[in-house]
Amino acid sequence: MGNIVAIVGRPNVGKSTLYNRLVGERQAITDDVSGVTRDRMYGTCEWNGKIFTVVDTGGFVRNSEDIFEAAIRTQVRIAIDEATAIVFMVDVTTGITDLDEEVADMLRRTDKPVFLAVNKVDNHQRLIDANEFWSLGFDNTFFIASISGSGSGDLLDGVTEILPEKEDSGEGAIPKFAVVGQPNVGKSSFTNALLGEERNIVTDIAGTTRDPIHSTYTKFGKKFMLIDTAGMRKKAKVHEDLEFYSVMRAIRAIEDADVCFLMLDAKDGVEAQDMKIFDLAKKRNKGVVLLVNKWDLMEKETNTARDYEKEIKNKIAPFTDVPVLFISALEKQRIFKAIEVGLEVYENRTRKIKTSVLNEVIGDVIERNEPPSHRGRFVKIKYITQLPTYYPAFAFFCNYPKHVKESYRNFLENQLRSHFDFTGVPIGVFFRKK
């Protein structure tokens, strides 16, 4: 299962600040420009060699006092259901409040690991005050100051220690596809069209409504697993919870999948929420196939598929080597084509290239287009090899790895893509000291 760490707690205890620290400052800056904390919902954190998704539940609450407490309770409940681990944040300057007690009470009943983070502990007096929080009864209690970052390393050490190792999809693994996208784009119609009425060929592994359903699918001589996040809206009553809930499910599905089918509605194109899902899949190095659904309803003469695809690629740049398929789940147009393309992307993601071939083909390219010199340093790339990772990543050994320009890194990635098929798959390009 994918690892999700949810940060919960009442407003203004510093959840967003901790979140920004964990996922890297860059995201915080872009979000401040747009002035919405609600955009700061999830991002990726890497610590001690483990990668996990951090969810800031604070991004989901609209500020009105009366719904605050109810909304926070709901979020804690969803986090308990969906997350791998929970960071419960409190504020030393206010002491233990009634709402803290209530959240603590909910969290003590779960068997999920809970980490209590007492925030704003930044002087000696506050360190003494912070000890009262041990009374909440959590073994994993950390005193931190998220603004300066003090203590957050210890907290992360604690969290990553309990996260399970990601099992590698080795030989003989069944490709896992997740159908993701905004509500109402047609994810369930797509799944139903694929599975058809013949439910006897479906084996439900996790048939509870709470889990995305994993169905193993064998049809037309193809075998794969479909992670269906559709039909997960029944639980939520309020719109806000619905949004939080569907985001949590999408993250879990992406974490579990090898290839993500990101479904778009033909009349809406790529929206901000789609870009978030796309970026998350890319950051987690998952294969991506874009499915433009309800294409049959578009006015054919106004919109050619080619122009439409060009528009999409402009939005998702620089990672544009992604298949775009125009489908209609209801009319069952091109849905099996989608599976074929998904399997090709899966193959591309598992593709291994011999070191000798790499050095011959890409070595030749480098000889003709040497890296630009940087501050008088001439970069010489001596040798290339593919790294033993679960997605395609390449190490270029050279004399000045830090002096290779971003534009040249992109050039090498494009060369790898044009000589070997990595369509639909993010590629890692690293420079190492020889």
Q: Tens of pLDDT along 362-410?
A: 999 999 998 888 788 888 999 999 998 889 999 999 998 888 888 999 9
CB-count exposure of residue 50 (10 Å: 0-12, 13-18, 19+):
middle
Best CA proximity match to 386, nearest among 427, 419, 415: 427
Mapped onto helix, strand or coil, the DSSP state of residue 422 is coil
Highest mean pLDDT among 17-26, 69-78, 164-173, 318-327: 318-327
Task: Decide if 80 contacts 107 (C-beta within 8 A).
Answer: yes
Using only C-alpha atoms, the chain has a radius of gyration, in whole angstroms, of: 24
What are the start-end ranges of the E strands in 171-211?
Answer: 176-181, 202-204
How many Cα atoms are found within 13 Å in the side-chain-facing hemisphere of 214? Answer: 16
**Positive/negative CA dihedral, 319, 321, 325, 326:** positive
C-alpha to C-alpha distances, 306 to 300, 315, 324, 328, nearest whole angstrom: 12, 15, 10, 17
How many Cα atoms are found within 13 Å in the side-chain-facing hemisphere of 306? Answer: 1
The pLDDT, as a whole number, for residue 220 is 61
pLDDT band at residue 340 using 50, 70 and 90 as cut-offs: very high
Give the integer Cα–Cα distance in Å for 194 and 340.
Answer: 12
C-alpha to C-alpha distances, 87 to 75, 149, 158, 171, nearest whole angstrom: 13, 15, 11, 36
The pLDDT, as a whole number, for residue 27 is 46
The pLDDT, as a whole number, for residue 90 is 95
Which of 31-45, 223-237, 384-398, 400-414 is predicted with the least confidence, judged by mean pLDDT? 31-45
Contacts of 67 (CB under 8 A, 6+ apart): 61
The pLDDT, as a whole number, for residue 252 is 83
Please state the length of the chain: 434
Helices (H), 131-283: 152-162, 187-195, 239-256, 272-283
Please check the confidence at residue 332 and state whether its pLDDT lies above 90: no
The pLDDT, as a whole number, for residue 321 is 95
What global pTM score does this model have?
0.70
pLDDT band at residue 201 using 50, 70 and 90 as cut-offs: very low
Which residue is it, tokens 């030749």?
A: 364
Which of 5-14, 28-37, 150-159, 332-341 is predicted with the least confidence, judged by mean pLDDT? 28-37
Give the integer Cα–Cα distance in Å for 376 and 5.
Answer: 45
Please check the confidence at residue 425 and state whether its pLDDT lies above 70: yes
- The tokens for 88 are 């419960």
Please check the confidence at residue 42 and state whether its pLDDT lies above 80: no
Could you read off the pLDDT of 113-154 as tens digits, one per residue? Answer: 999 999 999 999 999 999 999 999 999 999 999 888 899 999
Pairing of strands 176-181, 85-91: unpaired
pLDDT band at residue 333 using 50, 70 and 90 as cut-offs: confident
Angle formed by the axes of helices 272-283 and 239-256, nearest 10°: 30
Please check the confidence at residue 157 and state whether its pLDDT lies above 50: yes
Q: Residue 259: what are its φ and ψ, rounded to 5°? A: -130, 135
The pLDDT, as a whole number, for residue 117 is 96
pLDDT averaged over every residue in the chain: 82
The pLDDT, as a whole number, for residue 213 is 55
- Provide the edge-to-edge strand list for the sheet that holds 202-204: 202-204, 213-219, 222-228, 176-181, 259-265, 287-293, 324-326
The pLDDT, as a whole number, for residue 361 is 94
CB-count exposure of residue 12 (10 Å: 0-12, 13-18, 19+):
exposed
pLDDT exceeding 90 applies to what percent of the chain? 42
The pLDDT, as a whole number, for residue 56 is 85
pLDDT band at residue 7 using 50, 70 and 90 as cut-offs: very high
